């Protein structure tokens, strides 16, 4: 899907973030520092990572600037409330940048951290894929912890089956 209209993209991206926020809202604070094994991202690391990559890689790159991502550790935000605040604050900063982009800006090139040129609209699409990827990790983590998670699009698989009319 080619992104040709910034207003439409921002509306779409807002829906992506709403689904991520619904999932983050069910995370029990006691599990923020949990990881499935030592050395892997914790739940809080994943949330900080989504936020920091959005702001310090994707947003910087679409401005024509180099990536300034430096990780996703506790030094950015520690504790449930601080992590959620950081997540929302970096998103608002990123949106301020994205809202300044014109439809024409979507067609110009920017450089990825690997110095590969990419069309801005493709980089923004990659940003949404990045968030979705990490949201899926959060779903798996929470399922491993037996935390009830919200269905992605309003119905669970079981509810879709129950509502289906087999012919």
CATH code at position 89: 1.20.120.450
pTM of the predicted model as reported, rounded to 2 decimal places: 0.93
pLDDT in tens, 118-151: 999 999 999 999 999 999 999 999 999 999 999 8
Q: 164 CB contacts (<8 Å, ≥6 apart)?
A: none
Residue 143 is assigned to a structural domain of this protein: yes
Residue 100 is assigned to a structural domain of this protein: yes
Residue 13 is assigned to a structural domain of this protein: yes
DSSP for residue 105: G
Q: Quick one: pLDDT at residue 161?
A: 80
Residue 1 is assigned to a structural domain of this protein: no
Residue 112 is assigned to a structural domain of this protein: yes
Residue 63 is assigned to a structural domain of this protein: yes
Residue 110 is assigned to a structural domain of this protein: yes
Domain span including residue 83: 6-163
Number of compact structural domains in the chain: 1
């Amino acid at each position: 899907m080619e992104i040709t209209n910034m207003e439409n993209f921002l509306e779409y991206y807002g829906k992506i973030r709403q689904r991520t926020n619904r999932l983050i809202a069910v995370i029990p604070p006691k599990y923020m520092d949990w990881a499935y094994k030592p050395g892997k991202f914790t739940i809080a690391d994943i949330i900080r990572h989504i936020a920091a990559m959005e702001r310090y890689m994707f947003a910087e790159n679409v401005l024509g600037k180099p990536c300034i991502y430096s990780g996703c550790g506790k030094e950015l935000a520690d504790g449930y409330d601080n992590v959620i605040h950081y997540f929302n604050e970096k998103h608002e900063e990123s949106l301020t940048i994205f809202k300044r982009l014109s439809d024409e800006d979507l067609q110009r090139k920017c450089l990825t951290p690997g110095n590969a040129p990419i069309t801005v609209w493709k980089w923004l699409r990659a940003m949404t894929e990045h968030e979705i990827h990490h949201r899926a990790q959060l779903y798996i983590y929470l399922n491993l912890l037996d935390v009830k998670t919200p269905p992605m699009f309003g119905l669970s698989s079981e509810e879709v089956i129950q509502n289906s009319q087999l012919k």
